[in-house]
Amino acid sequence: MAEGNDWVLRRHVITPAFSPLHFKALESLMVDSTKGMLDKWVLQINSGNQEIDVEKEITVVGGEIIAKASFGMSYQNNFLGLLLQENNVEGRQGKTLSTQQLVDECKTFFFGGHDTTALAITWSLMLLARHQDWQNQLREEIREVVGDNELSDINTLAALKKMEWVMNEVLRLYSPAPNIQRQARENIQVVDFIVPKGTNLWIDVVVMHHDRALWGKDVNEFKPERFKDDAHGGCEHKMRYLPFGFGGRMCIGRNLTFLEYKVVLTLILSRFSFTLSTTYCHSPSVLLTLRPTHGLPLMMHLL
Ligand code: HEM
C-alpha cells in the first residue's frame, strides 16, 4: 500500500478518474451487465428452479463491471485511460506515476471495488428478503421515480432516497469493509495518553456500528428510516459511522458504489420479488471483507 508522499501523488492522479463526469458510460455498462445476469435468472426460473445463490451471481457481475471499467471500455472511458491522461498533463514537473504504478492502481480498484460493492448489494437482498415491507417500499419508489424510463439519467438515480437509506443501514449492520487500519507515523497525544510512533491501529467498524451506547436500544434492528434526515443515522458521534473510512484516505470509490448499487437493485426489484430460501444459513464471517459464509440462496419470483 502506498504511503506518505507516494500516496499523495497517487491519490492526486487517480481522483479525476472518479469524477461523476465519467459515470454516464459506466452506467450503461452496469445496466448491460446486470440485464445479462437477470435474463439468465428468468430462464432458470422458467425452467422450474427458483432458487438462486445471488451472492455468487452478483460477485461475478460486479467483477465483470469493474474489470471492464478498469481496462475494457473505450480508451476515453476506462480507468487506465483516464489515469494515463491525468498522468500526462503538462506541469507535473516529473511528478508522474510509472506505467507499472498505473496498472497497480487499476488492480487496487479491482480488489477494493468489486467485492465490497457486491457484498453491499448481497446483504441488502438478504435484509429486503426478510423485510418485505421495505422491499415493497423500494419497488414503489422505483415506480414513482424511474417509471418505465431507461435507467440512463444519473439525476433519476439520485432521487431514489429510500434506497439510499436502505444502503446506509445495510452498510451499518453488515459493513463490507469491517475494519480500517492506520499506523502512527509519530507519537500522537490522545487526551491524556500517547500512542507511540509505529503503533498499528485497528479500528473495529463492526463493533462501533453495533454499539448500543451510540445507536440506542434498537441498534441491531433494520431501520433504514434512521437515515431519513441524518447522514449519520442518529449516531451519537458522527465519527462512529464509518463504512467508507475517514480523512484523506477515505474510500475513493464510494460514488461509484452508489451508482452500481442503485442500478443493480433497481433492475432486480423491477423484475423480481424474493424471499429467503429455507436453505439459507445465517453466518457472516470476517476475513478481509464481511461475507455470508454459505452464500445467499433466495427464492426468486417473476413479477
Ligand atoms: C460498498 C463498497 C465499498 C466499501 C464499503 C469500501 C470501503 C473502503 C474503506 C473502509 C477504505 C479505507 C478507508 C480508510 O482507510 O480510511 C477504502 C479505500 C479505498 N477504496 Fe473502497 N470501498 C467500497 C467500494 C470501492 C470501489 C467501488 C472502489 C473503486 C472502484 C474502491 C476503491 C478504493 C481505493 C482505491 C481505496 C484506497 C484509497 C486511498 O488509500 O487513498 N472502493 N474503501
DSSP assignment of the chain: ---HHHHHHHHHHHGGGGSGGGHHHHHHHHHHHHHHHHHHHHHHHHTT--EEEHHHHHHHHHHHHHHIIIIIS-TTTSHHHHHHHHHT-TT-TT----HHHHHHHHHHHHHHHHHHHHHHHHHHHHHHHH-HHHHHHHHHHHHHHTTTS-S--HHHHHT-HHHHHHHHHHHHHT-SS-EEEEE-SS-EEETTEEE-TT-EEEEEHHHHHT-HHHH-TTTTS--GGGGSS-TTTT-SSTTS--TT--GGGS-TTHHHHHHHHHHHHHHHHHHEEEEE-TT----EEESSSEEETT--EEEEEE-
Query: Does the beta carbon of 108 lie inside 6 Å of ligand 1?
Result: yes
b or e along 214-232 (b: 16 or more beta carbons within 10 Å of the residue's beta carbon)? Answer: bbeeebeebbbebbeeeeb
- Pair 263, 97: CB distance under 8 Å: no
Residues 101-158: tens digit of each pLDDT: 877 777 777 667 778 999 999 999 999 999 999 999 999 999 999 987 777 677 788 8
Helix/strand/coil (H, E, C) string of 58-100?
A: HHHHHHHHHHHHHHHCCCCCCHHHHHHHHHCCCCCCCCCCCHH
14: number of CA atoms within 13 Å, CB side?
24
pLDDT tens per residue across span 250-301: 998 898 899 999 999 999 999 999 999 999 999 999 988 999 999 999 999 9
Residue 93 scores a pLDDT above 70 = no
Which residues share a beta bridge with 195? 188
pLDDT at 114: 73
CB distance 138 to 269 below 8 Å: yes
Q: What is the pLDDT of residues 193-246, one digit of tens each?
A: 999 999 999 999 999 999 999 999 999 999 999 999 999 999 999 889 999 999
- Is 30 touching ligand 1 by the criterion CB < 6 Å? no
Rg of the chain in Å (alpha carbons)? 20
In the reported structure, the alpha carbon of residue 52 is separated from the centroid of ligand 1 by a whole-number distance in angstroms of 28
Query: 157-182, pLDDT tens digit by residue?
Result: 889 999 999 999 999 999 999 999 99
Q: 176 versus 18: which is more confidently predicted?
A: 176
Average pLDDT, the chain: 89
Distance 177 CA to ligand 1 centre (A): 8
Query: Residue 276 pairs with which residues in a beta bridge?
Result: 298
* pLDDT at residue 91 is higher than 60: no
Q: How far is the CA of 32 from the centre of ligand 1 (A)?
A: 24
Q: What are phi and psi of 179, to 5 degrees?
A: -155, 160
What value does the mean pLDDT take over residues 42-63? 95
* Residue 177 beta carbon below 6 angstroms from any ligand 1 atom: yes
Contact 253, 109 (CB under 8 A): yes
What phi and psi values does residue 92 have, to the nearest 5 degrees? Answer: -80, -15
Question: Cell 421515480 sits at which residue?
Answer: 145
235 annotated as ligand-binding: no
Identify the burial level of 133 via C-beta atoms within 10 angstroms of its C-beta, where 0-12 means exposed, 13-18 middle and 19 or more buried: exposed
Contact call for residues 226 and 169 (beta carbons, < 8 A): yes
Mean pLDDT of the 18-33 span: 81
Set out the domains of the chain in order of their start, with CATH numbers: 4-302 (1.10.630.10)
Q: Is the CB of 249 under 6 A from ligand 1?
A: yes
Task: Round to whole Å and give the CA distance between 34 and 126.
Answer: 18
Which of 61-65, 184-188, 253-257 has the highest average model confidence (pLDDT)?
A: 184-188
